[in-house]
Every structure is written in structure tokens, then in C-alpha cells.
């Protein structure tokens, strides 16, 4: 019996901060979700690396964003794994609820972790995002909306990822050194209109953010 087997029950939540991640690579998720018609994309740090065309650092996890109202399509494609709604008071200090028993926590928290039971490891973090049909809605400010075809880009291998200016908008909340590094790597490659979009979105979500001076 693994640690996760011992901690989890069929219907109750369990602490997730003690368990190891061994994330899939984006190509693995692209293969598993190949038949999913809902718009989905690689988010966060991996999206930056896919945009830049190379893995610049190790990634402790893999984050994928999907429309909340079409999440069932993604869950069905991952039926061979176990899904848990994850949330809590602070990063690394949360709880995990089996998806089937999550109840109101499904609306409270937007993250769903995928567990490969045989390996006893978490593989991918699914963000359930607000949307309106073919329109993406920013969960930080619902006035920020874009058609999905303006949100998602693809690598030469067909892996969908969020445009870097959108990723940076979310990274700005904590703006850790690795996020500053991502900003520095991306900005020289962003067209002026995309820099303007990021600056305007930052002013809405994080007025006066220190990154705004970099976008002038």
C-alpha cells in the first residue's frame, strides 16, 4: 500500500502536501487529450518554455487549463486515472477531494490534480477556467475576455499552450525570481500590441505592478 492509498478514502479528503509529484511532459498530455474537442492548453511555466522553444529549467509540475463547463470531456479522456479537487489556505497546505465526492468544493477551488495510482504520483494539475462558449474569461477579472483562438498557440508538434502575455498576467500575482526571468525572456519577442495588452491587463488586475515599468 502506498502512502496515498493509506491516506485517501473513497469519500473523504486527504492532505496532499506530503506526496510527490512526477509530472508528465506536455507531449504526454497532448496524446491523452488528442480526441478532446474542448479548447485546452498548457499553462504557467511550461507554456513559457513551449513559446520559447526549449526547456529552460526543471518543472515541478505541469498545469493545463480547460473550460470549466467542458471539464467533463477532459475527465472522460483521463478515465484511467484518479482526479481530485485540490484547495486550501496556502500553496502546499491544502486538501484533496475525490472528484466524484467533491460537492461544493468543485465550485470553490479551480484546481484538479490527476493521480496515477499505480505509480503513487501526481501527474498533472488541471485548471478549470471560466468561459462563455468560444470565449475565454480571465478568472482574476471577468472583464478580460478573448476568443480562444487568440488565447491558444501551438508548437510545431501541435501542443497547445497559452500565449505568453496571458501566462505572465497570472505570474504577476507572486512575481518570484523565476517569474521575473520568464518576463525578461519573453518581452523581447512580444509584438507591441501584445505588450500593450499585458500592460492594460496588469493595470486592471494589479494596479501599479512593478512589471509595468518594463512594458513601457
- Write the pLDDT tens digit of every residue in 37-91: 999 999 999 999 999 999 998 898 999 999 999 999 999 999 999 999 988 655 4
In percent, how much of the chain has pLDDT > 70? 88
Cell of 150: 487568440
Residue pLDDT, tens place only, 144-154 = 999 999 999 99
Residue 4: the pLDDT is 42
**Is the model's pLDDT at 178 over the cut of 50?**
yes
Average of pLDDT values for 105-119?
89
pLDDT band at 189 (very low <50, low <70, confident <90, very high): very high
Structural domains present in the chain? 3-162 (3.30.460), 164-216 (no CATH)
pLDDT band at 9 (very low <50, low <70, confident <90, very high): very low
Answer with the residue of higher pLDDT: 102 or 80.
80
Average pLDDT of the chain to the nearest whole number: 89
pLDDT band at 103 (very low <50, low <70, confident <90, very high): confident
Q: What is the pTM of this model?
A: 0.88
**Is the model's pLDDT at 92 over the cut of 60?**
no
**Is the model's pLDDT at 107 over the cut of 70?**
yes
How far apart (Å, rounded) are the C-alpha atoms in residues 103 and 154? Answer: 34
Average of pLDDT values for 12-34?
80
**Is the model's pLDDT at 2 over the cut of 60?**
no
Residue 58: the pLDDT is 87
**Is the model's pLDDT at 7 over the cut of 70?**
no
- Cβ-contact 157, 42 below 8 angstroms: no
Cell of 98: 475525490
User: What are the DSSP calls for 41-52, one per residue?
Assistant: EE-HHHHHHHHH
Closest CA relative to residue 121, chosen from 7, 14, 11, 23: 23
Phi/psi at 25 (nearest 5 deg)? -90, 160
Amino acid at each position: 500500500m502506498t502512502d496515498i492509498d493509506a491516506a485517501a478514502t473513497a469519500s473523504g479528503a486527504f492532505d496532499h502536501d506530503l506526496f510527490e509529484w512526477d509530472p508528465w511532459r506536455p507531449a504526454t498530455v497532448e496524446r491523452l487529450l488528442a480526441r478532446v474537442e474542448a479548447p485546452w492548453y498548457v499553462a504557467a511555466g511550461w507554456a513559457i518554455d513551449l513559446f520559447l522553444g526549449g526547456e529552460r529549467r526543471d518543472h515541478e509540475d505541469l498545469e493545463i487549463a480547460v473550460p470549466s463547463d467542458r471539464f467533463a470531456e477532459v475527465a472522460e479522456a483521463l478515465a484511467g486515472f484518479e482526479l481530485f479537487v485540490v484547495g486550501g489556505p496556502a500553496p502546499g497546505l491544502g486538501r484533496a477531494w475525490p472528484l466524484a465526492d467533491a460537492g461544493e468544493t468543485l465550485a470553490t477551488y479551480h484546481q484538479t490534480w490527476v493521480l496515477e495510482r499505480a505509480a503513487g504520483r501526481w501527474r498533472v494539475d488541471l485548471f478549470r477556467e471560466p468561459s462563455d462558449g468560444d470565449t475565454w474569461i480571465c478568472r482574476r477579472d471577468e472583464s478580460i475576455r478573448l476568443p480562444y483562438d487568440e488565447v491558444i498557440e501551438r508548437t510545431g508538434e501541435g501542443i497547445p499552450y497559452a500565449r505568453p502575455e496571458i501566462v505572465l498576467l497570472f505570474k504577476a500575482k507572486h512575481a518570484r525570481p523565476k517569474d521575473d526571468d520568464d518576463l525578461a525572456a519573453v518581452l523581447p519577442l512580444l509584438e507591441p500590441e501584445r505588450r500593450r495588452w499585458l500592460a492594460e491587463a496588469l493595470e486592471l488586475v494589479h494596479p501599479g505592478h512593478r512589471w509595468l515599468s518594463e512594458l513601457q
